[in-house]
Chains A and B, each alone.
Chain A
Amino acid sequence: MNQTPWEQFVSSLWPIVQGALLGTIPLALVSFVVGLAIALVVALMRLSRRRLVSGVARVYVSLVRGTPLLVQLFVIFYGLPSVGVVIDPWPSAVAAFSINVGGYAAEVIRAAILSVPKGQWEAAYMIGMSRNVALRRIILPQAARVSVPPLSNTFISLVKDTSLASLILVTDLFQRAREIAAFNGEFMLVFLEAALVYWVICLGLSVLQSRLETRLDRYVAH
């Protein structure tokens, strides 16, 4: 196998991109969507006046933020089977990443909800809305605008963190790169190539972020 570095680069690119398309990207997307749903619930719980409810949410956020993601991943995949709960690699990864995003994004969403002026709640109540309707139609759309930049950060971090899933046997971008490198021994080249693919994905996300911000900014003074 006497390939030039360029030939090696080209021949390993497609398997790595395949790992991204079939592993990294769907894993990140699904985990982010599920994580956001968890985050919204946790954020609303934290804003609850009931001590117990907000306390539970506080503990959740604290646990998620206070323990390493890799440890969370291992507890779910390698730990749970010893108490009789066996989960496949993919669902394990989605569970761990969703729970993780849920904790971080909950704080972002909570702050965004609190950033909406009190007068918006009052105007919503004045026109007769209940708390839930006010939240859905008046507060959350305004909170969404504020939370796009920090949530984009969370998402970009998540895309990179999914590389940890290769350690619980998920075939993602990084798992593919490790396989190729182990096969051809070109560690530097292949891992730089993996880094490049991650970077391109994140560049694309940054572009999406600024488009979304522009769209949501249409109703604010510039």
Chain B
Amino acid sequence: MSPTDPLAPGTSGAPGTPGVPPTPSDPTWGTHAPLLTVQGLSKSFGDHQVLASVDLTVSRGQVLALIGASGSGKTTLLRCLNGLETPDGGTIDVGGDLRLDFGTTPSVRELAALRDRSAMVFQHYNLFPHKTVLQNVMEGPVVVQRRPAADVRTEALALLDRVGLAAKRDAYPFELSGGQQQRVGIVRALALRPRLLLFDEPTSALDPELVGEVLGLIKQLAEEGWTMVIVTHELQFAREVAHEVAFVDAGRVLERGAPEAVLRDPEHERTRQFLRRILHPF
């Protein structure tokens, strides 16, 4: 594998400066070229069509919030972007140098390349319970990306320090609150130096008083210029942080646009119904 091979795992990372949190090693960091282009993505589970030809574009440094009722397909869409689900058809293009066409079954190597470019934060954190906080963060960079452990450690500690969890480096996940666990989940994703960050309802499993610390961190990342796709039910958060909001309904992106437009004055009746239910649950 030559270092310029776009499918080679781990080559997307720029050399890190010890002590400085990594920035995505994207040659065009800071520009507004499209980073993610999804076309005609479809996926069925048996007879049930979960995604029906989804098109989506996210530019570098932009934050896209996916909203929609449960079962609308928004989480499946997000999982496709990390290769956790394999679409039946369509294409995913990340960074202009990787294009997966799901017309045929993607190879293990293509999926690895897709995962190398994106990192995901899970609703239920999914930290590794048998590993300490620091080990959780270092596992991917050291074991998968084969970066030098000493460098990764320095970087991981800097990231943990940034989210206020340096003192918890040797704690096991069960010793942390939900908010702390999710912040470790975010650091684990950042340590992989992805180009694209994916969040699957990152605050849905948290106690209400812990939601703020996690949303605050995601907002900081948005301000730093990370490209993110966030599935969320926190409409206020979406309005404040996202550059664009897409409403997903029955496996399609029904409408998308600036948060103000979609959340305040949606075009479609389905969107209005959904917003009413969220904003006025009873």
Seen from chain B, the residues whose Cβ lies within 8 Å of a Cβ on chain A are 9, 82-84, 108, 112, 115-116, 119-120, 122, 124, 126-131, 139-140, 143-145, 172-174, 188-189, 192
Contacts and interface: CB of A to CB of B under 8 A. Distances in A.
Contacts, number: 65
A221 B174 contact: yes
Interface string A119-143: 1101111111110010001100110
A7 to B, nearest CB: 54
Contact of A119 (B115, B124, B188): B124
A85 interface: no
Given A133-B143, A142-B130, A219-B174, 19 more contacts: A117-B126, A120-B128, A122-B84, A122-B122, A122-B126, A123-B126, A123-B128, A127-B140, A127-B192, A128-B9, A128-B115, A128-B140, A128-B145, A130-B108, A130-B112, A142-B129, A145-B130, A219-B131, A220-B129
- Which of A117, A137, A145, A218 counts the most B-chain CB atoms under 10 A from its CB? A137
B192 A123 contact: no
Main secondary structure of the interface of A (DSSP, over half): helix
A117 B9 CA distance: 26
Nearest to B141: A127
Contacts of B119: 126-127
A117 B128 CA distance: 11
14 contacts: A119-B122, A122-B84, A126-B119, A126-B122, A127-B139, A127-B140, A128-B116, A128-B140, A129-B143, A129-B144, A133-B144, A142-B129, A218-B172, A219-B130
B248 to A, nearest CB: 21
Nearest to B108: A130
Contacts of B174: 219-221
A145 to B, nearest CB: 8
B112 A123 contact: no
Contacts of B131: 219
- Which of A120, A127, A133 counts the most B-chain CB atoms under 10 A from its CB? A127
B84 A127 contact: no
A213 B84 CA distance: 33
B120 A126 contact: yes
A115 to B, nearest CB: 13
A125 B83 contact: yes
Nearest to A219: B172
A119 B119 CA distance: 14
Contacts of B126: 117, 119-120, 122-123, 126
A142 to B, nearest CB: 6
B130 A128 contact: no
Interface string A1-38: 00000000000000000000000000000000000000
Closest 10 A/B residue pairs (Cβ):
A127-B140, A123-B126, A128-B144, A119-B126, A221-B174, A219-B172, A126-B120, A141-B130, A219-B130, A128-B115
Contacts of A130: 108, 112
A118 to B, nearest CB: 9
- Which of A128, A137, A141 counts the most B-chain CB atoms under 10 A from its CB? A128
A84 to B, nearest CB: 45
A215 to B, nearest CB: 12
